[in-house]
Amino acid sequence: MLSLKNYWQQVSQLFFPHLCMGCGSDIIALDALLCTRCYLQLPVTGFFNAANNPVEQSFYGRVPIAAAAAAFYFTKNALLQHLLFQLKYKGHQKTGIWLGKQVGYQIMNSPRFAPIDAVVPLPLHPKKQRLRGYNQAALIASGICSVIQQPLITHALTRTRFTQTQTKKNRAERWVNMEDAFTVVLPELLHNKHVVLVDDVITTGATLEACASALLAASVASVRIATVAYTI
């Protein structure tokens, strides 16, 4: 027999169809973004439980982080790219929360991501955040917090320099460009805390490196890095 809740979910589905963001199917739970078939197609990396994974290796010799991982592989023209595009450029903020929850489940199952006292999203420059209306990393971080039940801290850190696009620069130039881009304005919020720093995608890691360095200089106990996607 249908419960009342299921009944109303099915009735509301008739008038306000809730469709899978992958295939458009309507066989989908009300709080889900994807049907089971599309969900199972997301390419999980397994990095959260793997020491020396490729994300961690990209920080070796650059900044002393306790652990780093991305939840999924980012491949061109794939479903994850579509979801991240909707989040960043189409105002689909729920996608950020949902992706954050998926990262949160992986953090919860990883002894390498403990202890954690605070979740900190990579800040956007205030100008960019005004243009977009939100920080996608903060939405992802909020999804993580809802799963791991730790506080979200969004205002301890600011981005102090507006950096131009990074894509045409080599690694050394990127580092110079990112230098001093982050300032910890309220260090007392993070003092002696084990912090997870969150972003949507990791490519070169230069931005996350600069941000992790700023956090460590402000005497946090440790920095771990968690992202939704890793570009190969």
Q: Residue 1: helix, strand or coil by DSSP?
A: coil
Measured CA to CA in angstroms, residue 216 lies from 76, 146, 183, 185 at distances of 34, 25, 11, 13
24: CB partners within 8 A, 6+ apart? none
Residue of the chain from 33, 38, 69, 196 that contacts Zn ion (CB under 5 A): 38
Of 23 and 221, nearer to Zn ion (C-beta) is 23
Terminus-to-terminus CA distance in the chain, angstroms? Answer: 48
Measured CA to CA in angstroms, residue 31 lies from 18, 95, 138, 165 at distances of 9, 11, 20, 35
Of 20 and 214, nearer to Zn ion (C-beta) is 20
Interface segment toward Zn ion; rule CB under 5 A; list 22-30, 90-98, 163-171, 206-214:
22-30
Contact flags string 88-127 toward Zn ion, x per CB under 5 A: ----------------------------------------
Residue of the chain from 9, 19, 23, 183 that contacts Zn ion (CB under 5 A): 23
Residue of the chain from 33, 35, 157, 189 that contacts Zn ion (CB under 5 A): 35
Of 67 and 80, nearer to Zn ion (C-beta) is 80
Tokens of 114: 């403990």
For position 22 contacting Zn ion by CB under 5 A, the verdict is yes
For position 83 contacting Zn ion by CB under 5 A, the verdict is no
- Report the alpha-carbon distance of residue 48 to residue 56 in Å, rounded: 10
Least Å distance, CB 40 to Zn ion, is 10
Least Å distance, CB 23 to Zn ion, is 3
Tokens of 219: 């005497």
Among 205, 169, 178, which Cα is nearest to 54's?
205
* Total residues binding Zn ion (CB under 5 A): 6
Residues that bind Zn ion (CB under 5 A): 20, 22-23, 25, 35, 38
